[in-house]
Amino acid sequence: MSNGVKARRSVLENLKPTAETHAGLLLQRYLTAHKPKQRDNTQDTPEEQLLEQARVIAASKVYCAAFQRWNEFAQRTPNGCARVHFTVQAAAPIAVGLGDASPLEVGIRLHHTYGMPLLPASALKGLCRRVARLLRHDSKLSDEAIDALFGFSRDTQAAAGAGVFYDAWYDPDSVGGAPFHRDVITVHHPAYYGSGEVAPTDFDDPTPVPFLVIKPGARFLCVLDAPNRQWADFAQKMLLWGLENLGVGAKTNAGYGYLNREGGASASPAARPTLQASEQVWQQAHITYDAGKQTLTVQNLATKARAEAQGAQAKTLLDALPDAVRQQLVEKRKLTADVVVEQQGNMRRLVKILAESAR
């Protein structure tokens, strides 16, 4: 079989991948030739040969050192916000970036500097927002909370979200440091999908299209920031549920892209649980205390929604406050602070007053 049209300069012909090879550079710049129109199935095409070279590339010492620095960054909490980090493990092949420009027709998203896989922050934020919209559909989360966490852009207004999502880095200690796996998409009716003028039949010649995916078992370190611990924990919970039940990247309907928290059981796409998320954080809400009725009432100034705690629950909340904050609330009978509210159907219940935000 002819290898088709030459695709690179002769000066590069003798280059061979090494332990330090950058997988992204290899895939983008080192294709030897373009496959011929008529394929001879007795030989690998140049694209398949290149993918085989990329498949065996492992994390370099440089990447391992960079990942260690990233892990240290993940464990530091910046001033003025809360940070959570956690590791997820691929329960199925992951195909992220299939639509990226590539001389191989099918792309893969890799770290620009190190050539290792990553889960882009934009994909994780979009997945988390999708989960938030599902909660909104079930009346478990307000539009205001979604706008606050993810930001918004409208005709005359725009604001950045309070949540910050980072790229999830591949852990080089997983799957032997070699995260790539070869896969194939088979186009069974190329003429029909190409022009649509030819009807598909059982006599069509299938066209296999090879591409790279990330191996099942590969681990990724996820990091996100939020204004406080409650928001951070809630965003983490949404993201984990999305990764386990909706998947990330392409071909999720075919079972690709699902990840579980490290050590957890594999999630089955066919049996997805219902998300249980009933807590909301109301920022700088107005709190009043009625000593006679032993009732704490909180109002969300943005949405005008109200929640209460009565009797023993109100006493427990008061006892948990620092002396100065509790005295201010009991004597002046009003306070402004961030609060955690639990919603059950149309009922809202005050479950916590975040004393550090009180004023």
Q: CA-CA distance, 109 to 312, in Å (whole number)?
A: 54
Query: What residue segments make up the domains of the chain, in order of their start?
Result: 59-206+214-261, 279-357
CA-wise closest residue to 150 among 169, 136, 168, 170:
136
Query: For strand 5-6 and strand 33-34, is the pairing parallel, antiparallel, or unpaired?
Result: antiparallel
Inform me whether the pLDDT recorded for 265 exceeds 50. no
* pLDDT greater than 90 at residue 172: yes
CB 178 within 8 A of CB 48: no
Q: Is the pLDDT of residue 284 over 80?
A: yes
Which residues, 6+ apart, have CB-to-CB distance to 234 below 8 Å?
226, 277, 279, 281
pLDDT above 90 covers a percentage of the chain that reads 33
β-pairing verdict for 82-90 and 219-226: antiparallel
pLDDT in tens, 244-260: 999 999 888 888 999 99
Q: What is the dihedral of CA 8, 9, 14, 17, to 10 degrees?
A: -40
CATH architecture of the domain covering 279-357: Beta Barrel (2.40)
